[in-house]
Every structure is written in C-alpha cells, then in structure tokens.
Amino acid sequence: MKIDPNTFENFNRVLTGVVVPRPIAFVSSISPEGIVNLAPFSFFNAVSYSPPTIVFSAARHAGWKEKDTLANIEATGEFVVNIVSEDIAEAMNSTAAEFPAEVDEFEIAGLTALPSDTVKSPRVAESPVNMECRLNQIVTIGEGKSSHGLVIAEVVLLHIRDDVINGHRIDQQRLKPVGRLAGNMYCTTLDTYEMIRPTYKRDEV
Ligand SMILES: Cc1cc2nc3c(=O)[nH]c(=O)nc-3n(C[C@H](O)[C@H](O)[C@H](O)COP(=O)(O)O)c2cc1C
C-alpha cells in the first residue's frame, strides 16, 4: 500500500504511529505576567552538540485556544525541558488538557516548581533532568489553524539527579524515560539491547 499524505484522511495518525517511540519534552514556561505553564510535547529531539540544541514542535492552536507554551516562549525567549520518567508519567498526562492560560498546571499535576538558575521559567522538581533553554528561533511550518511552531533552542544549563549520572554515563534504568507511541500508548525502556557500531578503516596510501 502507498499513502499520499494529501489525500489520506487523518494522515497525522499514520505519521505519529510510525515515527515511534518519541521522547517527551515536558515544557515549563512563564508568561510576561508571571503565569507559569507546563505541557508535554512529543515532537521533540536533540539535534546538535555544539551549541547543544533541542527542538520541539507545537501546533499553534489547541482546540479553542492558542497554545500557551508557544505564546510564552515567543514573548520571553526561554523555557525548561523536563524529562518525563515513569514516576511522573501520569502527572505529565494530567497537564495536557486545554486549560485556560491562567491555570498553573504544576498545581493540576501536583508537581513542585523549583526556581531555575538562568531562566525565569521554573523547573519540575520531580523530573530527573531539567534543561534550561534559550530560544534560538521559531520556524513556522504550515499555515493558518493547523500551523506548527518548530522551536529551536540552546540548552544553557542541565540539572540531573545525582544517582542518574556516573561520569559521562547516564543510567537508563534509573532515568526510566517514557516514550510516546501512537494516540494514548506509551512505552518504557525496560527491554534494551546492545549493538556495536562498525568502523571503517581507510587504507593508508
Ligand atoms: C504525551 C503528549 C505529547 C504531546 N505532544 C504534542 C506535540 O508534540 N505538539 C503539540 O502541539 N501538542 C502535543 N501534545 C498536546 C499538548 O500537550 C496540549 O495541546 C497542551 O494543552 C498544550 O498546552 P499549552 O496550551 O499550555 O501549551 C501532546 C500531549 C501529550 C499527552
């Protein structure tokens, strides 16, 4: 079967069903008026080492409203990405409803807001990793109601729980990250395996 995205109804479900599992950026941000916001985004990845750069993409609209995360980042140029571990997966999910801008999702989720060092947006105390980010640019993808903002940002400071890091190694069994599959399905990293990458040796001339 071949699928033409332009004619296939609800192609978004196919796309998000095959690009899996996706990591989840649990993004905390703050409005210029000081209203704190927290929401998950699984169009998320790390894309560059130097400068350390992450991206996530948010639809401009969520049902009846504009997404607060995008509006806050556009206004302030900063935010925090909190990594979602199994322990806070349900709390993360509870923040994903289309709450009005004045709602503080930290309260909805029963999560603790800790001050950040370099940005005004607070970070999630219960998350094993918090990445303080400064906006590089927002690239608009698509048009009108269905358009997305691709947020490109530099990680300026990373907080990590001490038991999760040993030297440069991250202990995945302790990090316990949650991945997003299609729709309401999620996965863990309990079933992992190792595969050694091959090397290519060029002949000396
Ligand atoms: C696990 C998960 C991943 C999500 N990923 C995205 C995403 O990548 N892009 C997006 O626009 N919305 C995504 N959403 C929906 C937003 O979290 C939701 O629209 C939220 O209300 C936005 O909040 P805000 O208005 O406070 O920014 C996701 C929801 C869940 C539960």
CATH 3.30.565.10 holds for 21-187: no
The residue whose CA has the least distance to atom 30 of ligand 1 is: 40
The pLDDT tens digits of the residues spanning 58-115 come to 999 887 788 999 999 999 999 999 999 999 999 999 999 999 989 999 999 999 999 9
Residue 184 has a pLDDT of: 97
Distance 114 CA to ligand 1 centre (A): 22
Look at the block and give the residue holding tokens 């990090």: 175
Does the pLDDT value for residue 205 go beyond 70?
no
Confidence of residue 26 (pLDDT cuts 50, 70, 90): very high
Distance 50 CA to ligand 1 centre (A): 27
**Cα–Cα nearest to 129, from 159, 174, 167, 169:** 159
Q: Which residues does ligand 1 sit against, CB inside 6 Å?
A: 24, 37, 39-43, 57-59, 62, 67-69, 93, 96-98, 180
The pLDDT tens digits of the residues spanning 112-154 come to 999 999 999 999 999 999 999 999 999 999 998 889 999 999 9
Distance 190 CA to ligand 1 centre (A): 25
Pair type for strands 53-59 and 148-160:
antiparallel
The pLDDT tens digits of the residues spanning 50-60 come to 999 999 999 99
Q: Are 34 and 16 in contact (CB under 8 A)?
A: no
The residue whose CA has the least distance to atom 19 of ligand 1 is: 62
Residue 66 has a pLDDT of: 87
Does the pLDDT value for residue 29 go beyond 80?
yes
Cα 56 to Cα 26: distance, rounded to the nearest angstrom: 10
Residue 9 has a pLDDT of: 96
Domain boundaries, the chain: 21-187
Q: Average of pLDDT values for 147-163?
A: 98
Cα 127 to Cα 41: distance, rounded to the nearest angstrom: 15
**Cα–Cα nearest to 150, from 73, 62, 95:** 73
Longest pairwise C-alpha distance within the chain: 67
